[in-house]
Structure 1
Amino acid sequence: MTLLPKDNSLTDVQPEKTQGNQLFPVFLKLNNLHTVLVGAGNVGLEKLTALLQNSPAATVTVISKTFLTDVHLLASIHPQVNIIQKPFTDTDLDGADLVIAATNDSELNKYVRQSAHDRKLLINVADKPELCDFYLGSIVQKGDLKIAISTNGKSPTIAKRLKEVLGEALPAELDITLQQMSEVRNTLAGDFTHKVKELNRVTAVLVGTQKPPSNLNLKLLVWGMSIVFLLIVIASLWYREPAFRGYVETIPPMFYYFLGAGFVFALVDGAIGMSYGVTSTTFSLSMGIPPASASMGVHLSEIMSNGIAGWMHYRMGNVNWKLFKLLLLPGIVGAVTGAYLLSSLEHYAQYTKPAVSLYTLILGCVILSKAINLNRKRTKAKIKNISLLGLGGGFIDAVGGGGWGSIVLSTLIAGGRHPRFSLGTVKLSRFFIALMGSLTFITMLNSSHWDAVAGLVIGSALASPVAARISNKISAKAIMVSVAVIVILISIRSIFNFLMKVI
């Protein structure tokens, strides 16, 4: 406790010295202020650009004897920027709210600073921290979210590097979350304390302390459609496939092979977000399953596994709904078209099988390439033709028995989309695409390989809850390389066997 003098005077009480950055961060409404910028060279251009990038409607008066062409260009784009070509005088600060000195004349900068202080105005002097009342920090912006970085004037270079790191790490989708939180805030009723508690509860998911609230409608939709579809499949098999009834008494060994394979492939898919289709199809072809039946088995097994995985990703907040809508309908159209075409060629399996093997060989090479380039920096130009990507991905996936993850997910990530949001969105959309593709296959085919299909369905479903949670706990690169090598070798073996028969 500090004892004050008897006269209650505070003049002898010295403030405790503290270490570190003593700056107080604020965000100014430059649209409502008048900023005077002295200097229009390279430094002045840099300051003016920073002001207008953050506040495009800011009122700025630029005073200088000479001007760069780019300064005039900015002024032509922003009509509220006023250009005055003349030497600076102290009366130029009449009516100013904020001052920035950006000349290469140190004496002039000091004169501008003294003129500003005479009028009780705050000033920033370029490259002179000791003369500044405030600094212009590096800015990271994601829509309405803005983060300012300060090094207390010690190292602007470090501030710029931190800006790059944060700009890369923070997803663009964060602005969508911000807008949604604003809507939630506007709908809250009650006193201030209640609103704060409710907003704390909702935003706890951002730091991983609480799961997001469940959406009953989506949950009922996914599980309801899965149950109804399963009942339709069972009824169809019961009346159309006599062999299916025999499975109740005698389960073929093939079921157990595919049960284990489906479980392993689903775990791998959960870890790297792709390759379930291509690995399952490659394995099915190696076990003598025709391409159309193999693709049907993959799509049937992916309904429940992707429904569960998609729901888990939704609960973890990993779904970009705008991207989901752009992928869904084109993906369904492509999958139905591809399933219809492949089913129509089921009687020519001896010719379609090597073609599908060639496709899985290519996908294996793609996966291997992705593994090699896994740690390379992504391009910042996001892919724009999302609907076309969904259409092509759905078609190729149905024809080849896989590739939705390898094609769509890898393309989204390579195009600058955030990996976590891309993975969750692709998983959830895959549920609906696999559902419609499977209905097409069932309508078109009279398969006799239901033991393999049942094994894949049950095995992948058992692995799905675990797979969604291991995506960040296993070395994705090691798994991708292993999967790629296995797929390539099996595909080459299948193609070689076909060529030997032909020859």
Structure 2
Amino acid sequence: MTPLPEDNSLTPVQDKRNHGNQLFPVFVKLNNLHLVLIGAGKVGLEKLTAVLANSPFVKVTVIAREIIPEMHTLAAEHAGVTIVNKAFAEHDLDEADIVIAATNDNDLNVYIRQAAHDRKLLVNIADKPDLCDFYLGSIVQKGDLKIAISTNGKSPTIAKRIKEYLNTEIPDEIDDTLQHINALRETLNGNFADKVKQLNEATAILVEPATVARSNRVYLSWGLWLASILLIVISVLSLWYKEPEFQTYVQNIDPIFYYFLGAGFVFSMIDGAIGMSYGVTSQTFSLSMGIPPASASMGVHLSEVLSNGIAGWMHYRMGNVNWKLFKLLVVPGIIGAVTGAYLLSSLEHYSQYTKPFVSLYTLILGIVILLKAIKARAKKAGQKIKKITMLGLGGGFIDAVGGGGWGSIVLSSLIAGGRHPRFSLGTVKLSRFFVALMSSLTFITMLDSARWDAVAGLIIGSALASPIAAKISNRISAKVIMVAVGIIVIIVSFKNIYGFIDKLL
């Protein structure tokens, strides 16, 4: 070891050695080596589990005087693991290739390290970075893709958090990509320059046509939308001039249809601009127009079935769906939504009493929207929510009863709990389709009569707005819209509650 200068200052070379992560990462073919693990407690079990998860056919000899039962269970599942119940002796390393110590005896750890170095073996001493020749990093694995994370022994917690993030962010389908690239690689020949040229030519098709295809899909969607609108206009004009009975029918349409047609269009545009509030704005407007809560909620959910189906499909195509989270959400969400729709429909004859409670709910959501708009900074993400099924059950129930809130409750809770926003959004959108569909079917089955003119206006209005809502979103301040929506929802909801109280008095 180079001695320190007399003034205890570090030389430039020594100073560099103390800065940055200077570990050299390698991937060891552990299946071909003999690993000796000293210690069979909880830490030893953790080390052995990590080793076997990455190299399940490694030959491991575990040496310890005290052995927890879980160690025997794990060893029984792997033929290469042998447990020796004895005190460690340095000759135990004579046949070893690599050593891991997981004991809580510091003197023993030092003895193990010296015995390993005498045999020129690399050793890892658990929780003792200064005694280690190598560290066991956090591992992210997606098929043949494996990423090792090191913090130079400074913070295993940070490494774990990064591992969780990458596990969520990197899709499982990345392994399919690796296999395809490998198959392509096997077809290449020539020198390195030739292979690079061939690879560029082969992969160029993945970029250029995709760009063209995206543009074509945009033009196609706009073309279909405009063609549909033109077809509707032509059909209406034809019926108007050729069928006198149609004129009479149109003239007898309740004006409320046109009110909800415009409202559905506006609310869908707002939802496209800020990504939320369609349910609460539609429900609040419906209640203010005298629509009973059950009929209002049915109209909201029917108009959301198509839009959420399309959004969910697009998120699925883009790989934004966490299927494990989806399975935990969708079934409880449907159960909660059907239960809420059934309860609200059963109380339709008492709508004058249920209306103020629904208005109170929309009032709370209006406050939530307003607070989100004026909040200076986002809260720090906490621990992930574990009771996903309860979140889905409660979110589905409240969404059906209140006409909206699945996104406000479920999505906000998932993101606030530390889950990835993109995967949370895609999963919630797809599950929302099934929740809205089942609650709508329940309403249709249960309600003897409904304001179908209002429902139809809401559905048609939101459908007309959906193709252009995304275009508007980039040109309007989301914060301004959220403030305006929050204030309007609060005022209208408060007005409905005040009206109910005034009648009682």
Structure 2 counterpart of 1:35: 35
Alignment of 1:187-336 (within 5 A): 191=187, 244=250, 252=258, 255-268=261-274, 270=275, 274-324=276-326, 327-328=329-330, 331=333, 335=337
- Deviation of 1:281 after TM superposition, in Å, equals 0.9
In 2: Cα distance, 1:453 partner to 1:122 partner: 70
Equivalent residue of 2:470, what SS?
A: helix
Alignment of 1:36-185 (within 5 A): 36-37=36-37, 40=39, 46=43, 49-55=46-52, 58-62=58-62, 69=66, 72-73=68-69, 75-79=71-75, 80-83=81-84, 85-86=86-87, 88-89=89-90, 91-100=91-100, 104-105=106-107, 108=111, 111-117=114-120, 121-124=121-124, 134-141=133-140, 146-150=146-150, 155-158=152-155, 160-172=156-168, 174=170, 176-178=172-174, 181=177
Which of 452, 455, 458 matches 1:453?
458
Q: TM-score, normalised by structure 2?
A: 0.66
Equivalent residue of 1:495, what SS?
A: helix
In 2: Cα distance, 1:291 partner to 1:316 partner: 36
- Deviation of 1:184 after TM superposition, in Å, equals 6.2
Which of 374, 380, 394 matches 1:376?
380
Amino acid at match of 1:426: V
Structure 2 counterpart of 1:431: 433
Amino acid at match of 1:267: A
Contact 2:94 2:119 in 1 (8 A): no
CA deviation string 1:281-319 (max 9, x = no partner): 113323444323432332243234324433443343212
Equivalent residue of 1:319, what SS?
A: coil
- Inter-CA distance 146–48: structure 2 relative to 1 (3 Å threshold): farther
Equivalent residue of 1:60, what SS?
A: strand
Structure 1 gaps, min length 5: 1-16
Identity of aligned residues (%): 48
Amino acid at match of 1:310: G
- Deviation of 1:139 after TM superposition, in Å, equals 0.9
In 2: Cα distance, 1:46 partner to 1:62 partner: 13
Contact 1:393 1:404 in 2 (8 A): yes
Structure 2 gaps, min length 5: 1-15, 76-80, 189-194, 237-242
Q: TM-score, normalised by structure 1?
A: 0.66
Contact 2:268 2:469 in 1 (8 A): no
- Deviation of 1:501 after TM superposition, in Å, equals 1.4
Count of paired positions:
445
In 1: Cα distance, 2:425 partner to 2:500 partner: 36
Alignment of 1:341-490 (within 5 A): 342=344, 346=348, 348-364=350-366, 375-380=379-384, 382-385=386-389, 390=392, 393-413=395-415, 417-435=419-437, 437-438=439-440, 444-449=449-454, 453=458, 456-458=461-463, 460-462=465-467, 464-466=469-471, 486-490=488-492
In 2: Cα distance, 1:125 partner to 1:389 partner: 43
- Deviation of 1:135 after TM superposition, in Å, equals 0.9
In 2: Cα distance, 1:249 partner to 1:429 partner: 34
Contact 2:362 2:490 in 1 (8 A): yes
Contact 2:135 2:153 in 1 (8 A): no
